[in-house]
């Protein structure tokens, strides 16, 4: 199980890599793990999704002065 810092680092990496699609990509990973029976892994990715959602609502768009 990942600690909270790792969850946030993963969420940030997903945002950088996938931008607006970070939630979709993270959800697909959670679904894959769930389908494979890895419920702990799916739970981790659901935590990542929650962090990505929070980042998307609090991250300013464009330049910040």
Cβ count within 10 A of residue 54 = 12
Give 7-55 pLDDT, tens digit per residue. 999 999 999 999 999 999 999 999 999 999 999 999 999 999 999 999 9
Structure tokens at 39: 């419920």
Structure-model confidence comparison of residues 17 and 64, the more confident one: 17
Asked if 33 and 45 touch (Cβ cutoff 8 Å), the reply is yes
Task: Give the pLDDT of residue 65.
Answer: 60
Confidence of residue 2 (pLDDT cuts 50, 70, 90): confident
- Tell me, rounded to whole angstroms, the distance of Cα 35 from its chain centroid: 18
């Amino acid at each position: 199980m990942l600690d909270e810092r790792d969850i946030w680092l993963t969420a940030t990496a997903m945002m950088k890599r996938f931008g607006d699609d970070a939630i979709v990509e993270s959800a697909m990973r959670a679904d894959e793990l769930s389908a494979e029976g890895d419920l702990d892994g799916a739970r981790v990715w659901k935590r990542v999704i929650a962090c990505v959602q929070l980042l998307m609502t609090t991250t300013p768009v464009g330049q910040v002065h």
